[in-house]
Amino acid sequence: MTCPSTEELAAIYDGSLKGQQAQKIREHVASCPRCSHELHVLHQNLQSVSQAPSPPADLIGKAQKHRQTESITPQVNLLHPRHRPAKKY
């Protein structure tokens, strides 16, 4: 078996992947140091996020209000090189 994607490892971690595919990935992780390490790092990252303090309530309210007033389409600066169409030669 080839190494699973990060999404597949996350699905194993959160229990959303079931059945034979999940079993194959678990067996692979048990024998692959790289995947075992990646799953461990995923676990550490998720633990850090879950233990992070919540933002202040007024900040959440401001963010929600800002999101409601923003337009759905992002503003793009066409003068910026990253946003210019590629030249066709």
In-domain check, residue 30: yes
The number of domains in the chain is: 1
Tell which residue, 14, 10, 9, has the closest CA to residue 25.
9
Q: What is the pLDDT of residues 65-85, one digit of tens each?
A: 877 766 555 565 556 666 556
- The DSSP code for 70 is S
Q: What is the pLDDT of residues 10-45, one digit of tens each?
A: 999 889 999 999 999 999 999 999 999 999 999 898
In-domain check, residue 82: no
Dig out the tokens for 18 from the structure.
């079931």
In-domain check, residue 76: no
| Interatomic CA distance for residues 32 and 26, integer angstroms | 10
In-domain check, residue 43: yes
In-domain check, residue 46: yes
In-domain check, residue 1: no
Residues 6+ apart with CB under 8 A from 26: 12
Note down the domain range covering 31. 6-69
Amino acid making up residue 9: L
In-domain check, residue 75: no
Distance of CA 45 to the CA centre of its chain: 11
The reported pLDDT for the residue numbered 21 is 92
